[in-house]
Amino acid sequence: MPSPVNRATAEHYLWGQGCDGWRLLQDPQLSVIQEQMPPGTAEVRHFHRAAQQFFYVLAGEARMEVNGETFPLPAGEGIHIPAGVPHQIWNESPAPVQFLVISQPASQGDRVPAPQQARQIL
């Protein structure tokens, strides 16, 4: 039976440099997580073999590098990352960034490190 979920009831995990995540939906075919990045933090550049992802910023402003191109992502904007495409999100703003990551199929165990690239800011 379906039931409502929120950050208080979802599985919590820590990642990266003091970042938080909450597994709002964890199904083999679909994953929805909410993550929070403090100022000055970054995810490791990587790609997923099978999972496509959609990142949607809820609060703050992130930067997303996708296959060598960098995009600002303010609150209310999102970006689609196809499977196999290297990407990295980071927070260079003075405020925390909160965002959703929707993966299809679920991306857990599907992550491959990618070589770092110089960041280009648009």
Strand partners, 76: none
Give Cα 8 to chain centroid, integer Å.
20
Nearest to 52, CA basis, from 78, 87, 82: 82
Q: What is the pTM of this model?
A: 0.93
pLDDT in tens, 36-70: 999 999 999 999 999 999 999 999 999 999 999 99
- Do residues 119 and 69 lie in contact, with contact meaning Cβ atoms separated by under 8 Å? no
CA distance 75 to 58: 5
Query: Is residue 24 within 8 Å of residue 2, measured between CB atoms?
Result: no
| CATH superfamily label, 11-107 | Jelly Rolls (2.60.120.10)
